[in-house]
Structure 1
Amino acid sequence: MRIGVYPGTFDPITLGHMDIIRRGAKLVDRLVVGVTTNPGKSPMFTLPERMAMVEREVEAIGGDIRVVSFDSLLMDFAERERATMIVRGLRAVADFEYEYQMAGMNQQLNDRIETVFLMADVCLQPIASRLVKEIAIFGGHIGKFVSAAVCDEVVARVARDGRRGS
């Protein structure tokens, strides 16, 4: 069985993430969406909230897609999931430089797991979770970048935290 892992913080999950999940799922028999923490980021949503958000969003895709949380090295997580492939999305040249370095480090950790890069759809390339949150915090509309349900959740979170929402 070909198993791929698509890791990320998904804070929040965007239409760009969903594009990569849809396309990545076609490359493998099972796609594991790994929802992780990142010590360098301050998430808007808790890990359980992000897990629920991702599970709800991928439900409509169908196929064998699992959503699993992890808090370890990506390659250790991929090994536990018996993955043979890491799926990564690329938006721009800046992404490539970072992802290329990460793929090289991951290969040094485990050369049995390949990294596959998928280019984001052209209309989705500028979308980044960080920018979605920033737009929402300053009262901009984020409906072009996330699903309606995620939009509602982000706007509600911004309102709850006392910041201007869209």
Structure 2
Amino acid sequence: MTFQKRLALLGAATAALLSSPALAADKEDIQALTQARLSLTQAIEEAGRQGNGRAVDAEFDVENGAARYEVTILGADRLVTYTLDANTGAVVKTDEKTVARYFTRLDPADLQGARTTLEQAIGIAEQRLSGKAIEAEVERDGDAVRYEVTVAHPDGRTQDIKISGVDGQVAER
């Protein structure tokens, strides 16, 4: 199989996974999220300071029993994922995404042009859906950005909501 066919197959599989409805979050993950001292917004702010850029993807995860946030920061010339301890905010790992940088359709200027930030979109989503954000990402929507935020509820249900980067309005549920 050629490299182009493998890449196309990988892209199709990724699109299928991303377009499937959100699954219920693990109750242990939800419990860890509610007990975490750091919110997803605070993790994004800390990673942004570390990486001198803007977040394009952020999620909560429990890895080997430790609550963590993984925040991907888009800088002027690089894409780096920061793993932060959900209780202390300390960066425990960094991973430069050299190859992924070429596949992102986002440019730092796109994020600077958005009137609504990812952090604000998370706040809107949490308030609208009465839960706690467990994942958020930036998407390109024509010439603007849109945020997709996954909010977890205490019973383990998750809901996705899309927020316009132009005006902070709910774009799609």
Query: TM-score, normalising length from structure 2?
Result: 0.22
Structure showing the higher strand proportion among its residues: 2
Scaled by the length of structure 1, the TM-score of the pair is 0.23
Structure with the larger helix share: 1
